[in-house]
Structure 1
């Protein structure tokens, strides 16, 4: 006999196993699309900074502050000041305000749903879980050898041979892409193809690949949590809003966690404990993997999820504890 709560389940977004998969499928789609944009933006001249001409390129057009015209005597001080405000200050301020507004309402939404670095973090997490049963070399205990939907998650030592190549491969890709944001992409990719990069270009790619490889292998979670300026900015803005979207744990029904092997914690890419209060979830990326895990486990029992997203007044219990 199934024991459920149809009324409450109907109020819950994505209260089924299928719904949990839909959320993660959507998130993966956004991540893949943004990672593709991250790689192709310099190639398509959507956005980059060209060191050879010392100005930005935006949608194929040069984006300058108009200072050169002032130096050549083609524009007066007032016109030059207006250009700096219109082409420099206002776009930057507008972007920061928009980005801050999103963080104010939804937290580190960019990190969990778009960030190309976080996409690599999750990919390496998955490889390491298959290889050593942990998402990090620093985790003390192995994760549960079972997925939230009951499928086995066995450890296969052969996957260990993939950890290094995957980390170094993405580090190299990142290094090359970052360089194409600074120098003409055609020059960089042609240099790679023909093997005739300049000394400085090769040095940049080599050093960046080495540093990113170390970070991806040993410190990717620490970087996301404490060293990424974009992520920390979002976290501080999010913490300042007590009504911002937060993961809510139904403590009144906590007994239903019995029999679950902490799948919500195992699924968290940031190695957080989703059943904690907001201030202990300071670096939550709103990826929703903990919600999907809980929804899947509880759906098999005919129960609604214990973890849900809440915002507005409903978020206050987590924010004020």
Structure 2
């Protein structure tokens, strides 16, 4: 019997669509400077966008042909206005759909998830800092048995990712042909060598030890997306059907275990600040509740449903939880006694 998953456009599972968008954006991240789609050339001292030089338009002012007012107008049109438009677009998308860029496009997060899964095969955890190992069972019924031999996959993977990131970032600052040509012939300049060595070491440490911490607390783009999302009570959010919380007693907290950001998806919105809208928790719930005629307990909601979710805090959600359990004659600690975490842990 095929495992149930959320279906997206043209019947393709949502998670497959997400993988495709991640791969596509990662390739764009790597090749954008090569094809002059976007980069800052430190030699030319200006941006190149879609093959065109993007300057502040101050050449005539420097030559004494334009007035200060005309120079100010040029700066507004070439720098301030584009920044406002891009910033507004990013904030609007985040305000409406949350950190969807992080979960569906971000090249850094796609590496985070890849390392997570490889590390899990080595030690049974998605992070070195997780206190407990994950269950070997996956929501779809398959199993992953940790094997230390996978460390021979983890370490090379992290090294390759670190070097790749440092190299690609350098191509955003210097002509890619120069960077890759110097690498190929072993003729890197001193500054280029220092940048690549320091960058590779920094990315290795970050990818190996602090990739989740970076996404949660150090990424400015992620932080601003989360703030915009929290400001909109009707924004898309993972909703939990608390009136059916008793059904969680048949599960092993699969939604918690699959979350790449190490969050508890059944928590209230304000405790899901770093949620990247990847939807893996909803798929896990759909799979583990495949025999339940009422279906899954986690799903994306918006508008009125999202507003009611955002109105809850941890204590209120727990009170509702207790009342629902009492009304249904369910022991309050039923889910906990079945190996689950607290349904709503403030």
Contact 1:111–1:231 under 8 Å retained in 2: yes
1:66 CA displacement: 1.2
1:125 aligns with 2:113: no
C-alpha distance in structure 2 between counterparts of 1:302 and 1:108, whole Å: 32
C-alpha distance in structure 2 between counterparts of 1:263 and 1:272, whole Å: 12
TM-score normalised by length of structure 1 = 0.93
Contact 2:6–2:283 under 8 Å retained in 1: no
1:76 CA displacement: 2.8
In the alignment, which residue of structure 2 is the partner of 1:145?
136
In the alignment, which residue of structure 2 is the partner of 1:17?
5
Deviations 1:231-277 (A, max 9, x none): 01111111111111111000111111112111101110000000000
C-alpha distance in structure 1 between counterparts of 2:270 and 2:245, whole Å: 20
Q: Which has the higher contact order (CA 8 A, sep 6+)?
A: 1
Query: For this pair of structures, how many residues does the alignment match?
Result: 307
In the alignment, which residue of structure 1 is the partner of 2:272?
281
C-alpha distance in structure 1 between counterparts of 2:130 and 2:274, whole Å: 18
> What is the SS of the residue equivalent to 2:7?
helix
Contact 1:17–1:299 under 8 Å retained in 2: no
C-alpha distance in structure 2 between counterparts of 1:285 and 1:258, whole Å: 26
Match of 2:100 among 87, 109, 119: 109
> Within 5 A, what are the aligned runs for 1:227-238?
227-238=218-229
C-alpha distance in structure 2 between counterparts of 1:186 and 1:179, whole Å: 11
1:18 CA displacement: 6.2
C-alpha distance in structure 2 between counterparts of 1:216 and 1:18, whole Å: 30
In the alignment, which residue of structure 1 is the partner of 2:173?
182
> Within 5 A, what are the aligned runs for 1:172-251?
172-251=163-242
> Within 5 A, what are the aligned runs for 1:81-100?
81-100=72-91
C-alpha distance in structure 1 between counterparts of 2:103 and 2:6, whole Å: 20
TM-score normalised by length of structure 2 = 0.86
C-alpha distance in structure 2 between counterparts of 1:48 and 1:136, whole Å: 33
Gaps of 5+ in 2: 313-346
Gaps of 5+ in 1: 1-14
Once the two structures are overlaid, the 10-residue window that deviates more, 107-116 or 69-78, is 69-78
C-alpha distance in structure 2 between counterparts of 1:248 and 1:303, whole Å: 15
C-alpha distance in structure 1 between counterparts of 2:66 and 2:159, whole Å: 49
In the alignment, which residue of structure 1 is the partner of 2:154?
163
